[in-house]
């Protein structure tokens, strides 16, 4: 459940990232929420893959700004 919610939040963040820069603040918020939600997933469920993916994509977004 929480894994699918985190992935959904990540997709929303990616959507707002693809929009004009005026919308990027919303992408920031969704990245933070997705990361917060994904960090509650036990490592035994996905070996930290989801958290690492969100960190990578969010970091790439921050670097491009």
Q: How confident is the model over 5-62, as pLDDT tens digits?
A: 999 999 999 999 999 999 999 999 999 999 999 999 887 788 889 999 999 999 999 9
Q: Name the residue with tokens 């790439």.
A: 60
Instruction: Tell me the whole-structure pTM to 2 decimals.
Output: 0.90
CB 45 within 8 A of CB 59: no
Rounded Cα distance between 21 and 5, Å, is: 25
For the stretch 20-30, pLDDT in tens is 999 999 999 99
């Amino acid at each position: 459940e929480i894994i699918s919610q985190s992935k959904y939040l990540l997709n929303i963040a990616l959507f707002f990232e693809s929009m004009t820069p005026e919308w990027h603040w919303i992408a920031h918020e969704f990245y933070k929420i997705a990361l917060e939600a994904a960090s509650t997933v036990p490592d035994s469920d996905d070996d930290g893959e989801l958290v690492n993916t969100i960190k990578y994509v969010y970091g790439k977004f921050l670097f491009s700004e």
